Amino acid sequence: MIALNGSSLTVEQLLSIADRGEPVALSADARARVQASRAVVDRRARSEEPAYGINTGFGSFADVKIAPGELATLQLNLLRSHAAGLGDPLPARTVRATMALRANVLAKGFSGISVETLDALIALLNAGVHPYVPSRGSVGASGDLAPLAHLALVLIGEGEVLQPPATSHQPPIPGAEALKRAGLTPIRLGPKEGLALINGTQPSTAVLALALAGAEQLTRAADIAAALSIDALRGSIHPFEARIHEARAFEGQRVSAANIEQCMRGSGINASHEHCGKVQDAYSLRCAPQVHGAVRDALRFVRDTVLVEANSATDNPMVFAQSGDIVSCGNFHGAPIAIAADLLAAAIVPLATISERRTDRLVDPTLSGLPAFLTNDGGLRSGLMMAQVTAAAVASELKSLAHPAGVDTIPTSANKEDHVSMSMTAALKADRSVQRAREVIAIEILCACQAIDLLAPLATSPVLAKVHALVRSRVRTLTDDRAPAPDIVAITELIASGAVEDACDARVK
């Protein structure tokens, strides 16, 4: 059970909620803060003084006063009118992360939501009811309004819900039916509650947080892939000595170098060419720590941004219980998430492009000293020729995905929202980049393992031998030509599951 208090949610806890169904609860101190801010909203709703989103319209309708008897209808209409999303739905794990993030933000006590409504959101998450949330429709301005509106509709017994994973190919079911199946009751919204449910960056933050976790995992797999390739290409272990990387104080570089050196240590292949007289290896081999490390350092900034946003109030207006003030502001603007997501999408490209260069060296006999395209009887057989072509194609796609989304802005809401962040577009692009880059690393591992087989009876290191054995448990050695696509998919799944790094017995950080 993870207690949500609005201040201490971690990326690791978010992954537990998203992927392992870890239940959540509202902490006692958060419950008291929520109740205090709700009291402020209830008082203002009874007064004649205008307060945005409580007794006024929204966006360019902010100057329209709403009659006291229409305040609940105002919130209901907000959810219905803002559910304008399109495109493929967000996966259930992303919806779960979004729900947890929104609940955590509401727990800070700056939104004015009722405890009952917040409890209903948490109950929805714990019951495994995952709203159908279209992935397109947010410009990341007043938060991710459309995605959160689709999510919030289920709380009032409307909207749609994803089918359970076992029947995920089925169409979504009505929100009211999903609530009934889960033994939950639709809520009735009070003043400001619809606005409190949809004002925030939680969908784009959720997409980015999950992409970040995948990218961090991929840096570890990339270090392992590099070690396999460098060993198979009979590269030197010396460029990875700690003293070299201590002389350049980038933490990511130091970690990647240590990972590669640890993986290669004790290799019989490496020992066989220790005194071959070769002076230097190509950059894609000896500069791997510098490139991989720069990616790691960029991801550290992304992680810091995600952690801040996950535990920040992103409402408008903000409710300050201590003073009784209700203040309009712009904490919902997604610029921090957009910039971090764009950085992730750009940073992941060098990880893939340097991997593709190592793959190219593995299949090129003039550079590897191995059979062309890693197959015997070349000509009759084409071996892994097209695997490298696929890596090149995906690497090229990654370059196009690196174009930042956050540099764009299109005014919305009759120019009231005249500068927007495009944070959701940036986050979705970052997520796609991680998925594509994982495939490039998988192709390198496929080729490196084949190269190691061709070097027998020379043996790789004990650590890399375990990775090689893991790959061979899913992908057999290439003798006769076969379609490489299923092999690439299998290794991609091994990377995504964490099995590749687990095979190294905690040698890789």
Return the active site residues. 52
- Report the chain's terminal Cα–Cα distance, integer Å: 27
Longest dimension (CA), the chain: 87
Which residue, 197, 213, 211, is CA-closest to 99? 197
Cβ atoms of residues 4 and 30 within 8 Å: yes
Cβ atoms of residues 158 and 175 within 8 Å: yes
Beta-carbon contacts of residue 275 (< 8 Å; ≥ 6 apart) = none
Pull the structure tokens for residue 454: 């061709």
Q: How many whole angstroms from its chain centre is CA 71?
A: 37
How many residues are there in the chain? 509
Neighbouring CB atoms inside 10 A of 77's CB total 14
Mind giving me the DSSP string for 346-400? HHHHHHHHHHHHHHHHHH-HHHHSS-GGG-SSBTTB-TTHHHHHHHHHHHHHHHH
Cβ atoms of residues 336 and 311 within 8 Å: no
Cβ atoms of residues 430 and 342 within 8 Å: yes
Print burial letters for 448-485: b (CB count within 10 Å at least 16), e (below 16).
bbbbbebbeebbbbebbbbbbebbeeebeebeeeeebe
Helix (H) or strand (E) holding 497: helix 485-497
Cβ atoms of residues 168 and 140 within 8 Å: no
Q: Kindly list the distances between the CA atom of residue 176 and the CA atoms of 115, 143, 160, 184, 348, in Å, as whole numbers in the listed order.
A: 21, 26, 8, 9, 42
Residue 309's identity, in one-letter code, is: E
C-alpha torsion 437→495→281→371, nearest 10: -100
Strands 160-161 and 325-327: unpaired
Cβ atoms of residues 211 and 218 within 8 Å: no
Neighbouring CB atoms inside 10 A of 180's CB total 13
